[in-house]
């Protein structure tokens, strides 16, 4: 059986991503922090780790990109999870009885319009699935939580209202991290991290290596270099495989303008799910 580590407690959105990609028979292994994911794969305790890297509403996940730079696992795939926030409570709780809603601050923020419309007070908690677990263990008649449908299923809570997020395009992007490179895909994407020399036009010249070869860039993000104040690394995604002739030439050209380049992986590109219409 495939074993996949994720950050959070059982029922977290990361575990939903694990099940979406690997199927319902996968063995999910919860971890307290993102830092714990990589050693589990490196030591052979799990086959893969599910690493969240960015959310379409909230932006990049703090710490995820630094781990990609510091550790040596390879990206095996990307997963796009359409995050649906569910309002859930102890079985038998009436909607009109709910006064307070607990969840992770980010989940509360992503449902702020819903909470305001129904005059519900948000109460920040450590995480979404943990809030569901705790409410199931200690039911409170006026309290509901925001978490995933999987959390409601695992902890025996009743979903009072579905898909209460303010934005329909609430997607989270994950990387499946493993020890080896994946087989070549029909529609590949490549991720790298690099740092330019401190000279005029260095980033412009670096991007030019891809532009002149007609390679489409799908993401570029700068992050501070933790050991060098006011210096930056750049995380770049582009369409194509690192062994494609044009991509390989672009990477070789990038080396001429950079102080370092690290290949994070070439992997199958995911397709963003279609946004459903609200009723």
Report the pLDDT value the prediction gives residue 230, as an integer from 0 to 100: 81
Report, as residue numbers or ranges, the catalytic residues: 172, 174
Q: Phi and psi of 274, rounded to 5°?
A: -70, 135
Query: What does DSSP say about strands 121-124 and 100-103: parallel, antiparallel, or unpaired?
Result: parallel
Give the 3-state secondary structure of residue 159. Answer: strand
Q: Look up the pTM and report it.
A: 0.92
Q: How far apart are CA 205 and CA 208, in angstroms?
A: 5
In order of their start, the domains of the chain are 3-82+171-178 (3.40.190.10), 86-161 (3.40.190.10), 188-268 (3.30.70.260)
Per DSSP, 1 falls in state -
| Distinct helix (H) and strand (E) counts, the chain | 9, 15
Q: How far apart are CA 35 and CA 229, in angstroms?
A: 23
What the block records as the tokens of 140 is: 């409170």
**Closest to 180 in 3D by CA, of 83, 92, 85, 266:** 266
Report the pLDDT value the prediction gives residue 272, as an integer from 0 to 100: 80
How far does CA 52 lie from the centroid of its chain?
A: 2
Report the pLDDT value the prediction gives residue 62, as an integer from 0 to 100: 80
Cβ-contact 194, 251 below 8 angstroms:
no
Q: How far apart are CA 64 and CA 241, in angstroms?
A: 23
Report the pLDDT value the prediction gives residue 249, as an integer from 0 to 100: 98
What the block records as the tokens of 124 is: 């920040």
Report the pLDDT value the prediction gives residue 279, as an integer from 0 to 100: 46
> Which stretches of the chain score pLDDT less than 70?
274-279
Place of tokens 């992007």: 173
Report the pLDDT value the prediction gives residue 274, as an integer from 0 to 100: 65
> For 74-88, what is each residue's pLDDT tens digit?
999 999 999 999 999
- Using alpha carbons, list the distances in angstroms from residue 221 to 40, 81, 218, 241: 27, 21, 10, 20
Report the pLDDT value the prediction gives residue 276, as an integer from 0 to 100: 56
For the chain, what is the largest distance between any 2 Cα atoms, rounded to a whole number of angstroms? 65
Other beta carbons within 10 Å of 268:
18
Q: How far apart are the first and last CA of the chain?
A: 39
Report the pLDDT value the prediction gives residue 227, as an integer from 0 to 100: 77
């Amino acid at each position: 059986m495939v074993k996949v580590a994720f950050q959070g407690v059982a029922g977290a959105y990361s575990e939903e991503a694990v099940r979406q990609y690997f199927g319902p028979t996968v063995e999910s292994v919860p971890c307290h922090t993102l830092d714990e994911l990589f050693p589990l794969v490196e030591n052979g305790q799990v086959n893969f780790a599910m690493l969240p890297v960015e959310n379409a509403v909230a932006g990049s996940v703090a710490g995820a990109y630094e781990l990609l730079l510091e550790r040596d696992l390879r990206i095996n795939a990307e997963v796009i999870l359409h995050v649906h926030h569910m309002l859930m409570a102890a079985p038998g709780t009436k909607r009109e009885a709910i006064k307070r809603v607990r969840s992770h601050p980010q989940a509360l923020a992503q449902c702020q319009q819903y909470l305001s419309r129904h005059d519900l007070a948000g109460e920040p908690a450590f995480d979404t699935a943990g809030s569901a677990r705790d409410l199931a263990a200690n039911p409170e008649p006026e309290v509901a939580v925001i978490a995933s449908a999987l959390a409601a299923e695992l902890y025996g809570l009743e979903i009072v209202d579905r898909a209460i997020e303010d934005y329909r395009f609430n997607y989270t992007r994950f990387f499946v991290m493993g020890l080896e490179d994946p087989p070549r895909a029909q529609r590949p994407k490549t991720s790298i991290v690099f740092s330019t020399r401190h000279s005029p036009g260095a980033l412009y010249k670096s991007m030019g290596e891809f532009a002149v070869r007609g390679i489409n860039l799908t993401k570029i993000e700068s992050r501070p270099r933790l050991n060098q104040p006011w210096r930056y690394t750049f995380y770049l995604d582009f369409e194509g495989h690192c062994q494609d002739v044009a991509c390989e030439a672009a990477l070789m050209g990038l080396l001429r303008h950079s102080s370092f380049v690290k290949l994070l992986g070439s992997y199958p590109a995911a397709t963003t799910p279609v946004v459903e219409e609200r009723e």
